Amino acid sequence: VIVPSLLACLILGGQLDRQTRAIFASNLAAQLETFTLILGNNENSLAKGVVRTAADNTLQVTLDLGIATQLAHYLDQQRGVLEIDFLAAYQLDGKSISYSSAADEPGRGQWRIARTVDNVGADCAVARQPLSITICDGVAYLTSLQPVDRRQDANRGDAATGNPAGERLGYLLGGVRVAGPALIDALRQRQITFPAIWADDWVVYANLPVEQPLELGTADHPAQQYTIAGETYLGAAKRLEIGGQRLTYGVLAPLAPLRVSLAKSVLTVVGAGLVLAILTLIALSFIANRISRPIQLLREGAARIGAGELDRRLDIHTGDELEALANQFNRMAADLQTSYAGLEHKVEERTAELSEARDAAEGALRELRTAQASLIQAEKMASLGQLTAGIAHEIKNPLNFVNNFASLSNELLGELKEIAAPAIAGLDANKRAEIDETMELLSGNLERIAEHGKRADGIVKSMLEHSRGGSGERQAVDLNALLEESLNLAYHGARAQDQGFNITLERDFDKAMKPVELVPQDIARVFLNLFGNGFYAANKRAHAPNGDAAFRPVLHVATHDLGDAIEIKVRDNGTGIPPAIRDKLFQPFFTTKPTGEGTGLGLSISYDIVTQQHGGTIAVDSEEGKFTEFTIRLPRTAKATATRATI
Ligand SMILES: Nc1ncnc2c1ncn2[C@@H]1O[C@H](COP(=O)(O)OP(=O)(O)O)[C@@H](O)[C@H]1O
Ligand SMILES: [Mg+2]
């Protein structure tokens, strides 16, 4: 703001200076006009006055008659009337007759009519012309020389000179100082303080030390600037041609007062400008403060809210649109905060729902995988079971033949012994002994055939039992009682086979167990199988070559009523099952037991009974050298089984 206002002040100052100079110059030009008028007036009155006097009869008569005293008197009188400095009369030959002037007139007695051209205008020698400038005794005069001619009708009175009528009588010379006190006074009265006049290059009048005439101004630039005695003036000049001489006259005026007044006005303008600028600045800063501070607050607030500080509020009380804006802003922030909080809550809810759904889906997927695995297993087992049953059926007939023919052959061998006895008795002792030995060997072989045939028959029978599934009727059974019965049977069976067998039986039966619908004979077979396997494994560990002497074999049986289903756990602390064979456990004929001790059909049949017949599940958990635990789950009712099967 300051820079432009200062610039404006400078431009204004310059403009003012130029304008003032122009006015000053035109003022000077006007003064010069006045000067011209006054000068012109002087010239005119001088010339006309001298002409009129020259035409006067009194002058002509007195001149003609050469009456010096009367002429002098007359000239004095006329000089007073014309208000000129001197008046003189000359004879035709230029001889001065009479002269009138003030007593102190410088050129007194020296005026003459110039004969040669050389000294015209100087040394009081006046040129023969109506108007000229003549310098006399250091003073410049405007002079007018008029011939005095006798008129035709002139009354000559008593005059009796030899001069004929119409003759030239002499000359009349009038003069006035170019810069007389009257002129200077008149100029001063018109405020022209520093006039100057030059005749050619000679200074006629100047109250300032100017040697050379001022330069003439033009219409566009009437005034010029001059430096006189260290001061600056503005001057204008004009020129007149008077009788072959140049009269230059001019007016001067000092620039200093103008400068001072100019400086004053410029200073006033600059000061006013500065005050205005400062006032504007103060007003601007006040307005800026009033507007920009709240705007700054608004901007900061918006940035903070943008950065997440939703509880941020603006505190603006300007009582104008900005306050309204801030209030609007605060309301917006509050709305934002509310909806943000709502949004967060909703997001949390949705996340929780989603994770629940995901858990459920994962659970379902797990169940589906298990179901799929058990379905595949079931399918495999079913087809293997059928295969087994088929094989058994095919083997049964030839096996019957083997068994029948073995016992028949044994009987035949007995008959052969009886029949051949007499013949054998006739033979020598060596031969007899040989025959007897062969007979014995033969009968032993036959017995072994019959024995192994029976074993094979047993296997085939249990294989056939595989295919017999589903024949039994379901009935509500006390599961705990059925387990107790099977445990006793298994234990005593084992004791019957091996006198030294011993095991601790632990029971953890669910007292609240309600009756379960199942086929008791078949489920009992499953239990017997599991118990038998458990006894075997625990016993094997007890008799291991470098086993722990303090080891006590234990079989633990537990039941749980789960409402829609029941659960049976059979756990032994035997050898355990290596992970590598866990998949094959339920396959028919899979056994790790030595020949004659296991058929590999127990778990296979059990699997069929639990899963196919009762719609339950059987699973195994084991750690090698520590324990094996079979878990059976059975649905409580046949209906539940059917539903499950459908699923
Ligand atoms: N409780 C158990 N402890 C260790 N191994 C077991 C157990 N039950 C079953 N087994 C393993 O499963 C195999 C198959 O058992 P199973 O079908 O009853 O036939 P078998 O008893 O005739 O061998 C067994 O040979 C044995 O290796
Ligand atoms: Mg077994």
* Stretch (H or E) spanning 140: strand 139-149
Helix 429-467 and helix 321-425, axial crossing angle in degrees, nearest 10? 150
CB 90 within 8 A of CB 169: no
Strand partners, 236: 251
* Digit-coded pLDDT (tens) for 257-312: 877 887 787 788 778 878 888 898 899 888 888 788 888 888 888 888 888 888 88
* Stretch (H or E) spanning 617: strand 617-623
Which three-class secondary structure string do you get for 42-64?
Answer: HHHHHHHHHHHHHCCHHHHHHHH
Q: Alpha-carbon distance 72 to 113, whole Å?
A: 18
pLDDT of residue 246: 85
Report whether residue 294 contacts ligand 1, using a CB cutoff of 6 Å. Answer: no
Q: Which residues contact 74 (CB under 8 A, 6 or more apart)?
A: 58, 59, 62
CB 124 within 8 A of CB 112: yes
Report whether residue 629 contacts ligand 1, using a CB cutoff of 6 Å. Answer: no
Q: Alpha-carbon distance 546 to 446, whole Å?
A: 41
Name the residue of 526, 535, 591, 599 whose CB sits within 8 Å of the most ligand 1 atoms, as the mutation to test its pocket.
591
- HSE-CB of 402 using CA atoms within 13 angstroms: 17
* Residue whose CA lies nearest to ligand 1 atom number 18: 602
Residue 55 burial (C-beta neighbours within 10 Å; 0-12, 13-18, 19+): middle
pLDDT of residue 165: 53
Q: Is 522 helix (H, G, I), strand (E, B) or coil?
A: helix
Which three-class secondary structure string do you get for 269-336?
Answer: HHHHHHHHHHHHHHHHHHHHHHHHHHHHHHHHHHHHHHCCCCCCCCCCCCCCHHHHHHHHHHHHHHHH
End-to-end Cα, the chain, rounded Å: 92
The rounded Å distance from CA 397 to ligand 1 centre is 29
CB 113 within 8 A of CB 133: no
CB 228 within 8 A of CB 252: yes
pLDDT of residue 363: 92
* Digit-coded pLDDT (tens) for 8-43: 778 877 887 788 888 888 888 888 888 888 888 888
Show the tokens assigned to 216.
């003439």
pLDDT of residue 503: 95
The rounded Å distance from CA 375 to ligand 1 centre is 22
Report whether residue 600 contacts ligand 1, using a CB cutoff of 6 Å. Answer: yes
**Nearest residue to 269 via CA among 634, 35, 11, 541:** 11
Q: Alpha-carbon distance 353 to 553, whole Å?
A: 51
Show the tokens assigned to 504.
């601790």
Report whether residue 599 contacts ligand 1, using a CB cutoff of 6 Å. Answer: yes
Report whether residue 534 contacts ligand 1, using a CB cutoff of 6 Å. Answer: yes
pLDDT of residue 378: 66
Residues of the chain with pLDDT under 70: 1, 116-121, 151-166, 377-378, 381-382, 465-471, 639-647
Name the residue of 603, 604, 608, 610 whose CB sits within 8 Å of the most ligand 1 atoms, as the mutation to test its pocket.
603
CB 612 within 8 A of CB 606: no
For 498, phi then psi, to 5°, come to: -135, 115
The rounded Å distance from CA 168 to ligand 1 centre is 191
pTM: 0.42
* Residue whose CA lies nearest to ligand 1 atom number 24: 591
Show the tokens assigned to 126.
């006046």
pLDDT of residue 644: 41
